[in-house]
Structure 1
Amino acid sequence: MPCCAPGGPPAAAAGRCEVREAGLGTGAGAGVVRPAGARPPLDAALLLGLARERWGLDVRRWRELGSQQDRNLRLDTDRGRLLLKLSGPTSPEPVLAAQDAVLHHLAGAGTGVRLPEPVPALDGTLRHAVGDGLVVRVLTWVDGEPLGERAHLAPVVLHGLGDVVGRLSAALAAVGHPGLDRVQEWDLRQGAAVVEQLRGDVPAARRRTVAEAAAGAAAALAPLVASLPVQAVHGDATDDNVVGTQGRDGRLVPDGVIDFGDLGLGWRVADLAVACTGALRHADDPFAVLPVVRGFAGHVRLDDAELDALWPLVVLRGAVLVASGEHQVAVDPGNAYAAEAREQEWAILRRALSVPPALMGLAVRRALGRPLPAPLAAAHEEVRRAAPLVDLPAGTRVLDLSPTSALLDEGRWLQERVEDDLVEEALAAGAPAVVLRWGEHRLTRTVPGARDEPATYALHARVRSRRPLPVGAAPPGVPWRVRLEGAGTTDLAVQVVLGPEPPALTTGSRAGAWAALSPDPSPLLGLDVAAPKPDPGLLGRRRAAFTSAQESYYAEPPQVERGWREHLVDVRGRAYVDVVNNVTLLGHGHPRVAAAVARQWRLLNTNSRFHVAAVTELCERLAALAPDPLDTVLLVNSGSEAVDLALRLARAWTGREDVAALREAYHGWTVASDAVSTSALDNPHAAATRPPWVHLLDAPNAYRGRHRGPGSGAAYARDAVQVLDGLAAAGRPPGAFVCEPLLGNAGGLVLPEGYLPAVYDAVRRHGGLCVADEVQVGYGRTGRWFWAFEQHGVVPDVITVAKAMGDGHPLGAVLTRREVAEALAREGSFFSSAGGSTVSCVVGLTVLDVLEEERLQDAARDVGAHLRARLEDLARRHPLVGAVHGTGLYQGVELVRDRATLEPASEEAYAVCERLLELGVVCQPAGDRGNVLKAKPPLCLSRKSADAFVDRLDEVLREGW
């Protein structure tokens, strides 16, 4: 329906009201902006009286809200919460009439966005004049939290911001009203004039920056003005005026827009620019606004002129914010709202100016899947057709410095002079010249443990030669230029420049945009010097080939192709601190393991039926590590197979099928090991799918279980013993009790004191075997003890181990007494192809050697204690952290919404992990409720990396996720 007030102009086709051409902007006909004065004086008694007398409201509570130019009162009334607005002379009657009419129209437009609506007075009118150009209105209240109140806004929230503003923009395209045709300081068509008029109020130290920013933006916009669509725009759809409801993960879901006081005609793309400036309050990197653009473009297809205009408008909006904010404080010194916003507004402008508009324009195009602008595409073609400028000699070698380069194995990429050293080695080996590639994410520029994305992407090619190379000049008239550094020397850098000066290297997130302005210089060198690009469709291919049952980490995971010690490195050359990979006990890429595997593969790899030394030696070493009387080893290839075999041993030894296991545990995925796995996180139907021979005991969780705190171990033991005795009395005593001595799947929960000895005694009293599942928690991970069961002063009948045993290679073992192992002979022989293979055994021996020589168990104890102390400090400062579990380098940070009820913060835990990934840390949730952040890194974790993890987690808990 048209939004014009009764008696207004007739509606045009498609329901659009007629509007007059504004005649504003950087071209001719622009009106004169009248800067806003001080806010209207606040007479609360008068306003509350009007609310009662004219609107019939019984106001029970009220408070004033911050505003730059109006007075806004939140009223709690007998009719619910409402908003009373007192507008001054800058919003005359036609303007307020337009706002009311547009809000009435939008209420029926089906935008899917929650919006305020005018509330009629008792006599049906919407506005009441109170003299001196002051007008009172009442609007419905839009519940929700403004996005601006959050320090951090996740990409999904910023996308939601753009989505809401895009929906509103699409709906506003169909409205019109005479009152929309206004001259005001927030119309970006007037932005440069506003800054010029108000610049005197800007402090001298900032004045020139603000003026130059506005002038530069106006100059960039000038050739685009005639092509920019004009329509009704909100004018201030920023993070303060877009509100959201809190999702289960604690993030805001943008779904409402408030404050239509700046409604008027304007450039359509201006609303997106305003939303982007709001996003810049929450991120240092301007590229963080791209989700806003994608969200907006889901509802409004921006044309080429708008794409080019977007970033100049963001800059201009930033300049207007600074100038207007300073002016408002000058004329209204008591306005705390305006005063407190000044530093944030200055930060917005600085961030907008930190990148060239041309670069952001290309980034926007790439984010929307749009082609390069025609002039830039033509320049690329000119470069591709160019003749060589550098005469490279035959035999020139192109070096690979990418994250997968074999030249950078064994941590060599961390050496300070590695690039120069590799070049010099290649020259010494006979190459007449060496080229470092363009378009390559150089691992040599990776920064381990860094919070922010490193600049690894090379926008130039570097040539080193034995003798100076002839260099030609670019032909005249081409739309590009070449930056040659070191011409006439043996060290030459070649870079194509199609716009603003590019850096030599840039970050992965900026690589695509900068590569469009500094493209491949291969034609100028007469040799392909461009690095191969990662396949952008690889993740889709993975998802197509993988079943959903094979879980993967993260919504949009990085492609990780290298690891070193406690770091993982993706194809962009970003290194992440890895606090989740307990499989890799020694650390990623350990050279000793790699060398041992390579050597043994060259010699022999066969199964354990053959008589080879490594099988005997590994079994002897493992038996020596086990307490008496465990003296026999069976080799397998995984933890699942180890638990499966342990249960089979128990059946063979006792003749019983029944098994006792803990709730909330995970032991594997084979039929038998899955049967005793009760984790709802891994199998939501675990409780309903247990076979009748599995009998469950409560997880002895002293933090949130049935029994809590000191003394809970004895209580849990009594409960468990009662169940075991009951099973025995019913003629079904368990042949085995399987339990992790440290509850790894639950997030590193330490069994309460006294529990395990009592349960072991009861199991053995009824003739059963006690199985210690050390797959996740053994092998020195707890620091003080090699086996986690040692903490409890018990000796199991069977130990299962895997993961750490092979440092990522498929290797596991079952350790038990000879007579128990020999019971298998009654059922036939046992064999595991990979478990006892020659290569597997050599890996197992090497892991034990390195574990001892590098004193990694001691490191787990010492670094683990440091990590624990820092995590406990987080728990004291952040209510979301309910408890810190574990010991050594198997710890868990349990997140709760309420420390009294212990409501698990499950969705928050996943969101926190997504945010940690953005900050360079790989972490994942654990526990039956998915609310425990598990910290089980390689044992080589340094204190520096432990601190990096805790510092980033502190930042996330402090600023949001």
Structure 2
Amino acid sequence: MAKDERGSAELNLTALAGRPPRISEEHAARIAREVFAREGTPRLLYGERDQNFHITAPGGQDILLKIVDGQEDPQVVDLQLSALQHVARIDPSLPVPRLIKTRNGEHLAQVEGPQGELYAVYALSFLPGEMLEGTPAAPPLLTEIGRVVARLGLALRGFFHGAAGRRIAWDPRQAASLRPHTPLIADRQMRGIVEKALDRFIALEPQLQRLRSQVIHHDCHPGNLLVDHARGKVTGLLDFGDMIHGPLLFDLAIPMAETQGVDLSPLEAATRVLAGYSSVTPLEDADYALLYDTIQARHAVTLAIHGWRTRHDPEAAAKLDAYCAINGPILAELTEIGPDKALAAFRAARLDAVETEALVKRRRAVMGRNLELSYAKPVHAVKGDGVFLWEPDGTRLLDVYNNVPSVGHAHPEVVEAVARQASQICSNTRYLHETVVAYAERITRTMPKGLDKCLFVNSGSEANDAAWRIAKAVTGNSGAIIIANAYHGISDAIAALSPYSGPLAIPSPPHVEALEPPDIYRGRFREDHPDAATAYAADADRVIAALAQRGHRPAALMIDSAHTAHGILDVPKGWLAQVAEKVRAAGGIIIADEVQPGFGRMGAAFWGFAAQGIVPDIVTMGKPMANGHPVGLAVTREDILASFTGRVDFFSTFGGNPVSAAAALATLTVIERDELQRKARETGDFFRAGIKALAQRHQMIGDVRGSGLMTGVDIVADQATRAPSAPEAKRITNRLRELGVLVGIDGPYGNVLKVRPPLPFNREHAELALAAMDRAMEI
């Protein structure tokens, strides 16, 4: 112990020594300008030992200027700076501040105070968001806090620094040093609770040596967390000033102890944080054994320090008043609950956290390991509504990927139509039913004149399979023309027309030939070519000749007018019309696969082929037509259908059944009534403009393509060379998933972000997605 000038007993611990420097705002502005070359208006923020200034820059590149306590050990400052650099290298997407260099290229400088005293100074990037302090968090945000804290622990796992061995008052292992000062807690009842908690923890201290230990942040409380409540995301992890080498469990115990939940008890809020943490870093039995007491010790340490400061440092004590007003009642409530009930709740949270992992294992056991799951952390969706999905822990995800629920997840009109019809009858199409006929009448009214005959099946793959059978039957030819890397379905015949599966797929058979994709961004003929349409269309001559050499004339060209599997291309105007003319002249017909571009998604027209200036001979569609209910359809002309059905007795038992027809009819009604095609055009234009603006800041955005709510974002290693970067696209996609936004990846190089949300996706949703993209693309 040491004595202060008042003769009071003072702890010989870092956190209770020293005072923040006394630099004025005017002086802070001068430091920012002269040392860090940053102009701006300073605003003083709270700091326990350091002095912190938010420097608001006119251009928006704000910084946090930190004037270090003059009594701080230089090695402790180096600990903080080194840790920040380490975390930025190991997990660049973690929302931690980045160091700002001085004019001399250093991370640390020295400045004079008003009396000539010397202070160390450094600057950090100023992170966006709202301080969590004083505001309860919704359950998904609590879970996200746990996940982010666990990620920080993983990022620091391989880091060490000699100064991390220091002693600070907030370390629960200093409970024995704080225990003599509990008489300074004014409230007698609370004093007894604090003493009991400290005594229990002191007795358990030998067991702490069994825990995983490393350098830890040790201060992830609400005052050091920036969040976006609307999106349920952590936007900033602040203040590395209390870093120590200690049990990893301490990093979890702090947010579990101090983060409040909306309409949740302290224990319920704590278990939400634990569930998120455990999903990244599962707890060991030794952790569970000490978790309750570590949480209690955190509260008790805070209240003991507050008692000490009330006597010896009232100004500093006032800063803790708000915390203690919360911590005291929580400590009392958890004490009343007791360790046994708390441990049971914590272990239940562990069960929730491993539920998804267990489901993945069960799935692999019965469905195989190679069946694809999107994202590094699979999505476990249990509920959908509009453009959002929810996971079991309440995490909300903005769906910017799924075109199948075209009018939005669980649209009430579609749900009601399905339920109503299923409660009446579901039969095959050899019986009459009003709904399937009504749908056929409605859908053909959206088609060009002459396309007015419907063949119902169960999926887009079946529709394409039927179209291909029709093409061969009516032309008498056997050759298929597709676009390189195309995808059209999973049946044996259509898989042969779908080289999208990649190099491991079976090579294309002799009757299939692929056209060069009309890619004006990365292909042979680019946007500066005087007539790229004709240049690319010339490849049709090669394809037709190649088929002829192998004894095949073209039966059909099958094409997805959005070129989804090719990275959602912006094709040169007139290209498809020229190709179609060549194919027809060679005896083939045109099959427009509208599974992805159809139903107003492209904005400019109800059907994707219409924007290409052609009228196909057969139009196919599938899952989006009934908002995800299994149904498919091929629409063609009277002469073509009659020629086919005159030779083939074609029948699909469930194709066009009344329940699927009801779902499709309700979906079409919503699309037309709510003007979703127009809205897709307007929102899509806004969204792509926003992504193009991001390209000015993020050099990995090479090209932004598409129409309506079908957008491709070409991710590159270099904007000048346009070299595709699949690893960066994958990183961005997984980071977006962490930020609560789902997008896909497509294209022959696996580097194009595929953005095709449900049609009700509006400007508000686009702004959420743009903000997430901005963050996900930060290096």
> TM-score with structure 2 length normalisation?
0.65
Structure 1 CA distance for aligned equivalents of residues 586 and 415 of structure 2:
47
Structure 1 CA distance for aligned equivalents of residues 667 and 445 of structure 2:
15
Deviations 1:766-805 (A, max 9, x none): 1111211111111211122011111121112221112222
Contact 1:566 1:577 in 2 (8 A): yes
Structure 2 CA distance for aligned equivalents of residues 724 and 317 of structure 1:
79
Deviations 1:306-362 (A, max 9, x none): 662267459969999xx9xxxxxxxxxxxxxxxxxxxxxx99x99999878979999
User: 1:795 aligns to what SS in structure 2?
Assistant: coil
Structure 2 CA distance for aligned equivalents of residues 280 and 707 of structure 1:
61
* Alignment-derived partner of residue 309 in structure 1: 294
* Alignment-derived partner of residue 580 in structure 1: 401
Structure 2 CA distance for aligned equivalents of residues 664 and 583 of structure 1:
21
**Aligned residue among 474, 477, 485 for 1:664:** 485
Contact 2:569 2:706 in 1 (8 A): yes
**Aligned residue among 632, 636, 650 for 1:812:** 632
Structure 1 CA distance for aligned equivalents of residues 664 and 165 of structure 2:
78
Deviations 1:783-839 (A, max 9, x none): 220111111211122211122222222222112233332333465211112212233
Structure 1 CA distance for aligned equivalents of residues 284 and 666 of structure 2:
59
Contact 1:33 1:194 in 2 (8 A): no
Deviations 1:532-585 (A, max 9, x none): xx9996555444433345434445445434333333344555543322221122
* Alignment-derived partner of residue 273 in structure 1: 250
* Alignment-derived partner of residue 630 in structure 1: 451
Structure 2 CA distance for aligned equivalents of residues 610 and 844 of structure 1:
19
* Alignment-derived partner of residue 519 in structure 2: 701
User: 2:547 aligns to what SS in structure 1?
Assistant: helix
Deviations 1:614-665 (A, max 9, x none): 4444333333332244333211111001111111112112222221111222
Contact 1:273 1:317 in 2 (8 A): no
Quickly say closer, same or farther: Cα 1:148–1:656, change in 2 above 3 A.
Answer: closer
Structure 2 CA distance for aligned equivalents of residues 557 and 156 of structure 1:
15
Contact 2:743 2:755 in 1 (8 A): yes
What does residue range 491-530 of structure 1 map to in structure 2 within 5 Å?
none
User: 1:895 aligns to what SS in structure 2?
Assistant: strand
* Alignment-derived partner of residue 215 in structure 2: 237
Amino acid aligned to 1:696: A
What does residue range 796-945 of structure 1 map to in structure 2 within 5 Å?
796-825=616-645, 827-945=647-765
Quickly say closer, same or farther: Cα 1:159–1:291, change in 2 above 3 A.
Answer: farther
* Alignment-derived partner of residue 793 in structure 1: 613
* Alignment-derived partner of residue 547 in structure 1: 368
Amino acid aligned to 1:685: L
- Which one has a bigger Cα radius of gyration? 1
* Alignment-derived partner of residue 713 in structure 1: 533
**2:204 is equivalent to residue 227 of structure 1:** yes
Deviates more, 1:729-738 or 1:273-282: 273-282
What does residue range 225-374 of structure 1 map to in structure 2 within 5 Å?
225-229=202-206, 237-238=215-216, 269=247, 272-273=249-250, 301-302=286-287, 304-305=289-290, 308-309=293-294, 312=297
Deviations 1:573-599 (A, max 9, x none): 554332222112222333333343344
* Alignment-derived partner of residue 594 in structure 1: 415
Structure 2 CA distance for aligned equivalents of residues 549 and 149 of structure 1:
29
Deviations 1:856-910 (A, max 9, x none): 2222222222222223222333223222221111223333332233344434444
User: 1:877 aligns to what SS in structure 2?
Assistant: coil
Amino acid aligned to 2:215: A
User: 1:738 aligns to what SS in structure 2?
Assistant: strand
* Alignment-derived partner of residue 685 in structure 1: 504
User: 2:650 aligns to what SS in structure 1?
Assistant: coil
Quickly say closer, same or farther: Cα 1:225–1:658, change in 2 above 3 A.
Answer: same
* Alignment-derived partner of residue 736 in structure 1: 556
Quickly say closer, same or farther: Cα 1:892–1:610, change in 2 above 3 A.
Answer: same
Quickly say closer, same or farther: Cα 1:311–1:868, change in 2 above 3 A.
Answer: farther
Quickly say closer, same or farther: Cα 1:309–1:735, change in 2 above 3 A.
Answer: same
Contact 1:567 1:577 in 2 (8 A): yes
Quickly say closer, same or farther: Cα 1:619–1:151, change in 2 above 3 A.
Answer: closer
Contact 1:221 1:309 in 2 (8 A): no
Structure 2 CA distance for aligned equivalents of residues 214 and 931 of structure 1:
60
User: 1:891 aligns to what SS in structure 2?
Assistant: strand
Structure 2 CA distance for aligned equivalents of residues 146 and 317 of structure 1:
33
Q: When the two structures are aligned, how many residues end up with a matched partner?
A: 621
Structure 2 CA distance for aligned equivalents of residues 361 and 704 of structure 1:
63
Structure 2 CA distance for aligned equivalents of residues 929 and 902 of structure 1:
12
Structure 2 gaps, min length 5: 1-8, 20-48, 51-69, 76-81, 97-143, 180-184, 219-239, 262-268, 309-318, 350-354
Deviations 1:415-440 (A, max 9, x none): xxxxxxxxxxxxxxxxxxxxxxxxxx
Structure 2 CA distance for aligned equivalents of residues 889 and 684 of structure 1:
30
User: 2:777 aligns to what SS in structure 1?
Assistant: helix
Contact 2:402 2:758 in 1 (8 A): yes
| Greater RCO structure (CA 8 Å; 6+ sep) | 2
Report how far residue 189 of structure 1 moved.
6.9
Structure 2 CA distance for aligned equivalents of residues 856 and 180 of structure 1:
60
Structure 1 CA distance for aligned equivalents of residues 460 and 757 of structure 2:
18
Amino acid aligned to 1:678: P
Contact 1:218 1:312 in 2 (8 A): no
Quickly say closer, same or farther: Cα 1:728–1:307, change in 2 above 3 A.
Answer: same
* Alignment-derived partner of residue 482 in structure 1: none
* Identity across matched positions, percent: 32
Structure 2 CA distance for aligned equivalents of residues 819 and 828 of structure 1:
14
Report how far residue 276 of structure 1 moved.
7.9
Deviations 1:390-445 (A, max 9, x none): xxxxxxxxxxxxxxxxxxxxxxxxxxxxxxxxxxxxxxxxxxxxxxxxxxxxxxxx
Contact 1:906 1:929 in 2 (8 A): yes
Structure 2 CA distance for aligned equivalents of residues 700 and 281 of structure 1:
57
Amino acid aligned to 1:857: Q
Amino acid aligned to 1:751: V
Deviations 1:698-731 (A, max 9, x none): 2222222333224343332223433334434664
**2:549 is equivalent to residue 564 of structure 1:** no
User: 2:690 aligns to what SS in structure 1?
Assistant: helix
> TM-score with structure 1 length normalisation?
0.53
Amino acid aligned to 2:95: H
* Alignment-derived partner of residue 407 in structure 1: none
Amino acid aligned to 1:309: T
* Alignment-derived partner of residue 473 in structure 1: none
Structure 2 CA distance for aligned equivalents of residues 892 and 738 of structure 1:
21
Structure 2 CA distance for aligned equivalents of residues 809 and 755 of structure 1:
34
Amino acid aligned to 1:223: R
